Structure 1
Amino acid sequence: MPAVLPFRLRPVSPGLRPLLHLGLMLTLSSSPLLIQASWAADAARRSYQVPAGPLSAALTRFAGLAGVNLSVDPQLVSGRNSSGLSGEYGVEEGFARLLQGSGLQLQPVGEQAYILTPAPQGSSLQLAPTSILGASGATDSDVFAGGQVARRGSQGLLGSKDFMETPFSMTTYTSEAVKNQQARTLGDLIASDPSVRATNPAGGRYEQFTIRGFSLFNSDVAYNGLYGVLPTYTIDMEMADRVDILKGPTQLINGISPRGSVGGGINVVPKRATDKPITEFTGSYASDSQVGGAVDIGRRFGEDNKFGVRLNAVKQSGDTKWDHQSVDREMAVLGLDFRGERLRLSTDIGHTERDTDAPQERVQIGANAKVPDADDVRHNYAQSWSKARTKDTFGTVNAEYDVNDSIMLYGGVGARKSNHDFLRHAVSITNDAGDFSVQPRDFTRDENVRTTTAGVRSWFHTGPVSHEVNLAASYFYMDFENGGARYAASPSNLYNPRPTPTPSRPTRFDPKVYTENRFSGVALSDTLGFFDDRLLLTLGARWQRVKVDDWSDGVKGDTAYDEEKVSPSGGLLFKATDQLSLYVNYMEGLSQGKIAPSTSINEDEIFPPFISRQVEAGAKYDAGAFALTAAVFRIKQPAYETNATTRVFGPNGKRQNDGVELSVFGEPLKGFRLLGGVMYIDSELKDTTNGTFDGNRAPATPKYNVNLGAEWDVPKVQGLTLTARGIYSSSQYLDQANSKEIDSWERFDLGARYAFKLDDKDITLRANVENVLDKRYWSSAGASDDSEPGLTLATPRTLLLSATLGF
């Protein structure tokens, strides 16, 4: 649940007050309208809502929202009030309006740093005209230089924070990055992050990822802080204003995720109407012949633009680069919001449908087969009659209420209803020739989700120590029913796929499996600020309860469980300078147990919850135009495997991932932007049965991931930008025995975009070529926890074209 978080005021040292006041008086006497003059450079405008009340609270709230440092002598603001503000302002313009009539004024003392001083006698500060029509989110002050990454991200229980004040590793991608990459799904967007990798084919039934080497399922992606609301199998990016990627266990922040992901978390932030009207149409094309269109419409109404409406809708269909494969997708999301002086409300209602013909599966490798050569796989090995049909309807309601200037209440509820229908077959290679058996299976899955969270956040001081206390409770419920049938098998081959008859007569019916999940929790945290908030200590714990029941053909299973645990977590951040932050954290959490995959003979068996732990240390350097981050981490959790001989899925030992992450983003040179980084992981298995695999590398975990994207604005042609990106992953093992391995791979993307005006209409043309060298390779060895083993085949060279017209 995103929340507004005040930036704490820093008192001025008493010994410095006379000198500081003298110096500022001399400066201001020569330029009494300094603030007004600086508005010309204060071009980054955004929407602010600051309620009327004590001046100190108003300044605190505004500074926090603007992400700037403000030093104040408490005696100056004592007993003074402010009328607040509502609308779009630049930073200094907003401060000036809050200070109107107070006899005080703002003085810049450094980059994003200000101090409050008495206004010179006889001076009269004239406010510039206030316009409620500001810039779009692309120039919002929350966006870091270059526009691809946001400064602030949502951190559930802890609210919304600037990345420099966060004792965790997190990257927040903007809607601008989504549009310029022409990202259609979440799987397209994560290609920018070295800590994240897709582990399922882009033309498959569903998307799945790893973060820091551990699996992350789509059902574990949050929507405005609520788990389980977004579609289970594929998430369309046209609905996203921001995408937060948090590395490491996130149970303290967001609670238990539906599938127990521990390597990190992803949160999709919905779009909101801005004070500037939005009317955009985007036409798109993707090779081989996918054509589509998307609309984005936003308006605000009423006094002070309190009411907002934002509609995003998309329709795209056509053939992909693979034989007899086509994708038809539809999405519509309506966002409504209200922003009052103390109350903020929002609701989002969405519906998505996706039909995929001949979706690809992971390629499983039998005990007697070697790893196939991906370069020899030139045709779609999925049968033309195979299909994936998904329908998801979802919605959320969120609220924030300022009880006073130091206490805020918040809450959110969400729900989803989904119907999924698949006709599929596994691809399990039995020999070096690439033979496999096509055994059709139809499979249905119906899901219902209800989730809620509520909390209170309070800011106060105890002597020189500041506090931000958060108390929250959450509840998650999901039921789902699986069913289906099997059909007679037919032979085929990976290199030369053979058409097989469309299945018509089932040879057997699968049992109907019904499962109910109930997760509940209560979390408490306190962020203590020392030495004028140069040192921030976050301490917290979450009580969690996991209750799972399942039935098979109406008979209750014996794998149900009801367990609970208190998980402590903490983080320490030190602002060594205004540009350098150092941090450490310890995160611990309870996760739902793994579920045996369809490739095992104990399919759908549910295992008990497990505990994951992370220790991390890092540094963040904000140079203004660009930022560098570094982190070292260790994550531990139980290891699972599907036994190669018995095909039984279950726990086998533990796995420990020790890693290093380096990242860069921003615009180090005018017109030249960078986005990317490198991750190194040493993933080791321990305490396996009889020590058989001790010391081996965990499956599906490359040692190195490297991503680096660059954008260059061509100096001689205004509006023209050239882009390039390289992606690399080192080799990976398929199994705990480390007997089978896929090679390292690299991918190169090129692109260009051209933005211009035509009859006062903004037009942007984009062209991207992914995998420009058309290399064939295995991009992943499957899920890192062996819940779905198998190889993921890379997508061939793909051309993406789009044209966005802004009215």
Structure 2
Amino acid sequence: MSATCHPRPASLRLRPLLHLSLLLGLSASPMFMTASWAEDSARRSYQVPAGSLSDALTRFAGLAGVNLSVDPALVSGRNSAGLSGEFAVEEGFARLLQGSGLQLQPVGEQAYILTPAPEGSSLQLAPTSILGVTGGADGEVYAGGQVARRGSQGLLGSKDFMETPFSMTTYTSEAVKNLQARTLGELIASDPSVRATNPAGGRYEQFTIRGFSLFNSDVAYNGLYGVLPTYTIDMEMADRVDILKGPSQLINGISPRGAVGGGINVVPKRATDKPITSFTGNYASDSQTGGAVDIGRRFGEDNKFGIRFNGVKQSGDTEWDHQNVDREMAVLGLDFRGERLRLSTDLGRTERDTDAPQERVQVGANAQVPHASDVRHNYAQPWSKASTNDTFGTVNGEFDVSDNVMLYGGVGARESNHDFLRHAVSVTNNRGDFIVQPRDFTRDESVRTATAGVRNWFHTGPVSHEVNLAASYFYMDFENGGARYANANSNLYNPVETRTPVRPTRLDSKVYTENRSTGVALSDTLGFFDDRLLLTLGARWQRVKVDDWTDNVRGDTAYDEEKISPSGGILFKATDKLSLYANYMEGLSQGKIAPSTSINEDEIFPPFVSRQVEVGAKYDAGQFAVTAAVFRIKQPAYETNATTRVFGPNGKRQNDGVELSVFGEPLKGFRLLGGVMYIDSELTNTTNGTFDGNRAPATPKYNVNLGAEWDVPTVQGLTLTSRGIYSSSQFLDQSNNKEIDSWERFDVGARYAFKVEDKNITLRANVENVADKRYWSSAGASDDSEPGLTLSTPRTYLLSATVDF
């Protein structure tokens, strides 16, 4: 069986010829399909996204392994709500054809045609004929279960990846569970476009996407920025994690820290129609133990009301000397789904205490890059600590004014208190000596954010429109304070334990900052040729206002600026399996903040403009997908001057890159997830041309990830897993005089699922960095706002047992 798509009639004169061809286009079957799927007596799980009726029928026919022939005029201009769940073949077709006035007619073995339904007939299905249908994200899982078909795209709503003119990957909660990912940083290790740039045992997580920095502050929660914890985000709260590559200001507005390379959105869990009662006991080396609960219920008429609770408690020592992590998380989600109104609210609280958190290793002007393989002990002092407490909440709603108009909106808030006793690690010579400079640092944050919009679907002649109008507001204030203590000496390779700081040598100034951003966005997605060609045009007006005070004295770095940022994308469905796209995205980004390693610490710089051009292709074979993209991103470059230690702008940087990713289940019982990214990053227009032509710091040329899962055929329920991660060498700063080597990491694992007295039990075991290699995994932030080396995580054992009651 082969996969083809039916051609669109060039004119009405071609219609008689199309009537004569019974085997045009809608016959399809993906690679590696088994014939048993097409047996009508067999039920199988299908996910077919909403969209044009032609596309929906084509996808279903391909997945089912049958031939469907149709006069294209019958389906022209018609749409389908899609389907999700377990169906027999004819039952699935009937579901897709509901309300279309068309019916299925068998014409041979595994062959059908579409004909108009007789007048007065109905294609309504009995409720009992649909099994496993869900209205949530779980119904959009791609083959293999690790990636979802649809992702949240803010202003543009939820879209299937094949109908999106952007590069985006959406990871599922199943991927989170099987990776035993406790934090966002542990999940993104599967994505070649994303890298962690801070130690896993550190105070906070930070990332790069397409070579540009992204802070936790830039991670959205159900489309709202600044709501999630600033320093570490627990993954047990996530139903999905959307990773969008490229500037996303049109979609989500300006982010608090001005992310350029992309954006991350965490989608909260919701109660499903099937009750959920799950407990997971877990262990992580050296001696971290804990547990997590996940409880969900729906109740009321038609299960309109839902409640979902996730709670975590874990504590114990890590693989690093005298390092202990104690974390707690509790998130409650409530939702209501009516005929036209949908409401939800999420309330969360997280607490994390870390003893001896690791810092990035800075390299002094007179020192060579230290040998990571010789760093076998924790160089953080036992008295150092990090304590973070975050309380957050959101309310979201959607209301269908009519079948063509929807109102939506959301509000969110967060209150956070952070307390650190830390010290920098700046190596001064080739022996690895550094000065311990104790610092007590406190930070209190308050966030308020809101968004509201209207989405309208309509036609003007043969052209479909999806118009979106939205407004957003973000406010955050924070206060930094602290104290300094007497210095001491230590060594990277042979750490020296110093006395616990008691008496401050000086108090830091109190710095208070207010950050406001507002925006209004308008977009229109136009569909041509029955939505085979989709053109998205839009623009967002943004205003950024920042004020700061030091010891109650207003600073001179305050600013109030605004800009209109245009964006656009085009997608062409060359076939029902192949989409080609291009986009131009422009955005205003929040100004950089001078890091603690500079003498102008906390100085705030004005906003800057970033621009991206991207072209790509997406191929969906039904059971696996391959996506490819070529992109160029431009933005100003920043550096901390090696001599003066002043942080500020210096020239521009341009990242030209290529991405290739693959996911799905190409063979039954064998799943793949990974890809490769290449980046050519160049500096231009630097002061006196000093660094022109050099590579931007902390930007490897190549990132490669490949994960595989294999269901052992001789042992039901047993799955073996593996993952390889590679990054090429990186420079430490704009001068390109110091460099860290390339590195690779290998992970292995297994899980075993079985039943005991109707209880589903899953045992999972993972070993990260199985070879226990020590290497520098990052040369710091790509924009040099936080320079320093990130040491790899040593071999770590992860064990868990999940019982679903």
1:398 is paired with a residue whose SS is strand
1:450 and 2:448 matched: yes
Aligned position for 1:545: 543
1:499–1:85 distance in 2 versus 1, CA, 3 Å: closer
**Over residues 639-671 of structure 1, what are the superposed CA-to-partner deviations in whole Å (9 max), with x where a residue is unaligned?**
000011111000000011011111111111111
Distance 1:684 1:204 in 2: 30
TM-score by length of 2: 0.91
Equivalent residue letter for 1:566? I
Output aligned runs, 1:424-573, within 5 Å. 424-573=422-571
CA contact (8 A) 1:47 1:89 kept: no
Aligned position for 2:163: 165
Which range is displaced more, 138-147 or 251-260? 138-147
Aligned position for 2:33: none
CA contact (8 A) 1:218 1:235 kept: yes
Aligned position for 1:289: 287
**Over residues 285-321 of structure 1, what are the superposed CA-to-partner deviations in whole Å (9 max), with x where a residue is unaligned?**
0000000100111111111111111111111110000
1:195–1:450 distance in 2 versus 1, CA, 3 Å: same
Distance 2:303 2:56 in 1: 19
1:604 is paired with a residue whose SS is coil
Aligned position for 1:589: 587
CA contact (8 A) 1:666 1:673 kept: yes
Output aligned runs, 1:156-195, within 5 Å. 156-195=154-193
1:506 is paired with a residue whose SS is coil
Distance 1:666 1:87 in 2: 17
1:357 and 2:358 matched: no
Equivalent residue letter for 1:170? M
Counterpart pick for 1:326 among 324, 327, 341: 324
CA contact (8 A) 2:712 2:718 kept: yes
Distance 2:505 2:642 in 1: 26
Aligned position for 2:251: 253
Distance 2:596 2:239 in 1: 35
Aligned position for 2:730: 732
Distance 2:773 2:121 in 1: 69
**Over residues 473-511 of structure 1, what are the superposed CA-to-partner deviations in whole Å (9 max), with x where a residue is unaligned?**
000000000000000001111111111111110000001
Output aligned runs, 1:117-196, within 5 Å. 117-119=115-117, 127-130=125-128, 134=132, 140-196=138-194
1:670 and 2:668 matched: yes
Tell me the number of residue pairs that the alignment of Structure 1 and Structure 2 aligns: 777
1:398 and 2:399 matched: no
Which range is displaced more, 356-365 or 298-307? 298-307
1:149–1:102 distance in 2 versus 1, CA, 3 Å: closer
Aligned position for 2:34: none
Equivalent residue letter for 1:764? T
Distance 2:619 2:106 in 1: 22
- Deviation of 1:461 after TM superposition, in Å, equals 1.0
Distance 2:373 2:344 in 1: 50
Distance 1:399 1:81 in 2: 25
Distance 1:279 1:67 in 2: 36
1:638 is paired with a residue whose SS is strand
Aligned position for 1:799: 797
Distance 2:40 2:16 in 1: 28
- Deviation of 1:241 after TM superposition, in Å, equals 0.6
- Deviation of 1:464 after TM superposition, in Å, equals 1.2
CA contact (8 A) 1:11 1:72 kept: no
Aligned position for 1:54: none
Distance 1:250 1:176 in 2: 26
- Deviation of 1:104 after TM superposition, in Å, equals 4.1
1:253 is paired with a residue whose SS is helix
1:640 is paired with a residue whose SS is strand
**Over residues 255-292 of structure 1, what are the superposed CA-to-partner deviations in whole Å (9 max), with x where a residue is unaligned?**
00000010000000111111111111111100000001
Aligned position for 2:3: none
- Deviation of 1:127 after TM superposition, in Å, equals 3.9
1:365–1:337 distance in 2 versus 1, CA, 3 Å: same
Mind listing any 5+ residue stretches in structure 1 that lack a counterpart?
A: 1-9, 26-36, 51-56
Output aligned runs, 1:3-82, within 5 Å. 41=42, 43-44=44-45
2:510 is paired with a residue whose SS is strand
Equivalent residue letter for 1:44? S
Output aligned runs, 1:739-758, within 5 Å. 739-758=737-756
CA contact (8 A) 1:59 1:95 kept: no
CA contact (8 A) 1:45 1:135 kept: no
Equivalent residue letter for 2:513? T
1:72–1:492 distance in 2 versus 1, CA, 3 Å: farther
CA RMSD of aligned residues (A): 3.3
- Deviation of 1:117 after TM superposition, in Å, equals 3.6
Distance 2:545 2:423 in 1: 32
- Deviation of 1:758 after TM superposition, in Å, equals 1.0
Equivalent residue letter for 2:471? A
Distance 1:103 1:437 in 2: 78
1:624 and 2:622 matched: yes
CA contact (8 A) 1:641 1:651 kept: yes
CA contact (8 A) 1:67 1:142 kept: no
Equivalent residue letter for 1:530? F
- Deviation of 1:100 after TM superposition, in Å, equals 6.8
1:451–1:95 distance in 2 versus 1, CA, 3 Å: farther
1:130 is paired with a residue whose SS is helix
1:583–1:58 distance in 2 versus 1, CA, 3 Å: closer
2:479 is paired with a residue whose SS is strand
1:347–1:312 distance in 2 versus 1, CA, 3 Å: same
Equivalent residue letter for 1:464? P
Distance 2:515 2:582 in 1: 33
Equivalent residue letter for 2:743? W
Counterpart pick for 1:715 among 706, 709, 713: 713
Aligned position for 1:221: 219
Which range is displaced more, 125-134 or 154-163? 125-134
1:605 and 2:610 matched: no
Equivalent residue letter for 1:624? G
Equivalent residue letter for 1:806? D
Distance 1:519 1:132 in 2: 46
Aligned position for 1:6: none
- Deviation of 1:81 after TM superposition, in Å, equals 14
